[in-house]
């Protein structure tokens, strides 16, 4: 009789263990199953909040499917006391294990308080204006920093200013930056996006980094079409080699302090403008804007078709590239004629 009782107790114990094991397995599967989370679901977890209250918050925000299961699963894992207080944000899909991992690591959500976009080709003074307009310091202060040799030295920049080093990108700040912090992150991003072995590759071509950035900025301002960048690079290289004026009006315009939108004959003939590449041979003194990585790379990868000239194709953003001046003049005439026809139609009553 006693032996039979022992056998019954043993069988009951085994059944309970099996049921518990199965329940734990199902609990683990539930915890690892991702669900769709409402966009930007945010939960604020304050120090001292009870597990049941947190589970209810997560459930109400649509982050976990069952507050009861979440509480039970967390208790089984026994690490609730290590959850870090703060604001947490979940989006897309998330599983309870993801939620627990974020709160154990303290992946606290900080909302973006400022976003600054620096387009490719943007000039330093345009970056300065945009920072000041968004409350990041005063124009005078930011301008001073962009020319401050000691500040630039901390950024590993050896140049007349930060022109060309303020990398074009969209910058998000979770805390309002100082002018120094904003400029630091832009220059740091520049160094991160510099093509691999760029300076050593430039050295083999006889270019300094500042010269290369000037070269790249010309490419950036002359075309926004990726496939044209090696072609523009070729034209610049050939003209430099043959000691021909570059004739890039984007550079000339950069050197006009009060440019109103139209080039005059006086502008074209102004030898006092060091950026007037119609008159002065070689590269301009500094970059004329912020080149992107593709333009920087194009300096090192020019095409080899024999091109010396290019001009816009009427009605398009692409250029026609020519090997000879005669061919180039033919396409310039086409552009001029098209512009005249467009003006005539526009001026008709």
pLDDT digits (tens, 9 = 90+) for 232-266: 999 999 999 999 999 999 999 999 988 988 899 99
Last residue of one domain, picked from the residues 193, 222, 244: 193
Mark whether 86 and 50 lie in a shared domain: yes
What pLDDT is recorded for position 11? 40
Q: Mean pLDDT throughout 90-105? A: 93
Across the chain, where does the E strand assignment appear? 35-45, 86-94, 114-117, 170-173, 309-312, 319-322
Mark whether 50 and 122 lie in a shared domain: no
Mark whether 40 and 72 lie in a shared domain: yes
Mark whether 251 and 298 lie in a shared domain: yes
Helix (H) or strand (E) holding 13: helix 2-31
Mark whether 239 and 298 lie in a shared domain: yes
Mark whether 186 and 121 lie in a shared domain: yes
Q: Would you say residue 3 lies in a domain? A: no
Whole-angstrom Cα distance, residue 277 to residue 259? Answer: 16
Whole-angstrom Cα distance, residue 319 to residue 297? Answer: 20
Mark whether 232 and 301 lie in a shared domain: yes
Between 8 and 271, name the one with better pLDDT: 271
Q: Would you say residue 264 lies in a domain? A: yes
20-76 per-position pLDDT tens digit? 445 678 888 999 999 999 887 989 999 999 999 999 999 999 999 999 999 999 998
DSSP helix/strand/coil, 113: coil
Per-residue pLDDT band for 312 (boundaries 50, 70, 90) equals very high
Whole-angstrom Cα distance, residue 43 to residue 179? Answer: 32
pLDDT greater than 60 at residue 16 = no
Query: What's the Rg (C-alpha) of the chain?
Result: 32
What pLDDT is recorded for position 18? 40
Per-residue pLDDT band for 7 (boundaries 50, 70, 90) equals very low
170-173/319-322 β-pairing: unpaired
Mark whether 141 and 101 lie in a shared domain: no
Structural domain containing residue 99: 35-109
Whole-angstrom Cα distance, residue 203 to residue 200? Answer: 5
Mark whether 105 and 172 lie in a shared domain: no
Whole-angstrom Cα distance, residue 203 to residue 191? Answer: 17
Output the six-digit token pair for 35.
């669900």
* Angle formed by the axes of helices 229-241 and 209-222, nearest 10°: 120
Q: Mean pLDDT throughout 280-304? A: 98
Q: Would you say residue 18 lies in a domain? A: no
Number of folded domains that form the chain: 3
Mark whether 156 and 123 lie in a shared domain: yes
Last residue of one domain, picked from the residues 307, 322, 340: 307
Per-residue pLDDT band for 94 (boundaries 50, 70, 90) equals very high
What pLDDT is recorded for position 271? 95
Residues 6+ apart with CB under 8 A from 119: 168
* Angle formed by the axes of helices 96-105 and 67-77, nearest 10°: 50
Mark whether 182 and 157 lie in a shared domain: yes
């Amino acid at each position: 009789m006693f032996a039979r009782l022992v056998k019954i107790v043993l069988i009951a114990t085994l059944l309970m263990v099996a049921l518990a094991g199965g329940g734990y397995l199902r609990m683990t599967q539930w915890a690892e199953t991702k669900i769709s989370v409402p966009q930007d679901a945010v939960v604020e977890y304050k120090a001292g909040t009870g597990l049941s209250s947190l589970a209810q918050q997560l459930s109400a925000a649509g982050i976990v499917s069952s507050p009861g299961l979440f509480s039970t699963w967390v208790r089984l894992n026994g690490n609730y006391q290590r959850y870090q207080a703060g604001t947490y944000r979940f989006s897309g899909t998330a599983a309870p294990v993801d939620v627990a991992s974020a709160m154990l690591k303290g992946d606290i959500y900080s909302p973006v308080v400022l976003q600054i976009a620096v387009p490719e080709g943007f000039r330093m003074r345009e970056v300065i204006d945009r920072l000041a307009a968004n409350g990041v310091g005063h124009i005078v202060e930011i301008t001073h920093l962009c020319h401050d040799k000691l500040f630039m030295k901390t950024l590993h920049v050896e140049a007349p200013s930060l022109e060309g080093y303020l990398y074009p990108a969209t910058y998000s700040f979770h805390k309002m930056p100082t002018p120094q912090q904003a400029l630091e992150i832009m220059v740091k991003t520049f160094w991160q996006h510099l093509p691999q072995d760029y300076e050593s590759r430039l050295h083999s071509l006889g270019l300094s980094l500042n010269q290369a950035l000037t070269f790249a900025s010309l490419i950036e301002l002359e075309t926004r079409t990726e496939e044209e960048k090696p072609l523009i690079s070729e034209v610049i290289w050939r003209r430099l080699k043959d000691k021909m004026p570059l004739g890039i009006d984007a550079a000339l315009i950069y050197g006009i302090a009060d440019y109103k939108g139209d080039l005059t004959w006086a502008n074209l003939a102004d030898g006092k403008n060091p950026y007037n590449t119609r008159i002065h041979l070689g590269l301009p003194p500094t970059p004329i804007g912020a080149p992107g990585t593709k333009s920087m790379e194009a300096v090192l990868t020019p095409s080899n078709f024999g091109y010396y000239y290019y001009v816009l194709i009427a009605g398009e953003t692409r250029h026609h590239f020519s090997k000879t001046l005669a061919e180039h003049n033919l396409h310039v005439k086409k552009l001029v004629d098209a512009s005249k026809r467009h003006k005539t139609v526009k001026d008709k009553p």
